[in-house]
Amino acid sequence: MPSRVLDDKELDLLKEVLASGDLSSLGGGMTPRFEAEFARAMNAKFAVAMNCAMSVLHAGGNSLRCSAGDEVICDPVFVFGAVATMYNNAVPVFVDIDPVTMNMNPDLIEEKITDRTKAIIVTHAWGLPAKMDRIVEIAHKHNLLVIEDCAHALFATYKGKYVGTWGDIGSFSFQMSKQMGLGDGGMAVTNSEDIAKALDLNAGAPTFASVAYGLHWNYRITEQTSAIVWHSWKKQKNTLRN
């Protein structure tokens, strides 16, 4: 069940943000605290907060240099990976699902790979992890990158490892229908410093820096959102793990 239990501590943290006069994650303190806590809990090296998970998927494809003419393998049921692919002017190529798990069927991936394939976006349906060992093995064999859509799979594990940390980027959602529904917000995790820096150009870098490096988006989370999410995350993470 999504977490919607808020208390006076969230209000105190919101007052702290308002009193600081810095409502942006640029220079604010709440967002870095939340990112560090999330990365630590997920056993990931880096976490980058954004305004929503759809932004994470969009920026994720951009950070992996998916662009016009590239193909990205997606599933045909959960449309967000395909939409993010098209946001980057790349072409979604659909691989069918296992009708029992609703997850991408690894047996059907290789037949869809071409010389234009750049990445795979895997959705973990309803909290049930996809077969990430096989998917990552295929991706590495063909020099493909992997984005995991974990919007419904916070703290789900596959073979003892958190989903979101099998591939190159994991995307998590805090929208109200998710396990930890706190209004909105998203988080990317990665173990690559280069990818983390690329994600940050869309999420945390000053706008002038993003423009100087290329065409990026301004998907920064606000300090107010981080204050609510950070404390609720601290309260709920042990419950969600169980």
CA–CA dist 177, 87 (Å, integer): 24
Q: Is 178 a catalytic residue?
A: yes
The catalytic residue among 178, 234, 235, 237 is 178
Residues serving a catalytic function are: 178
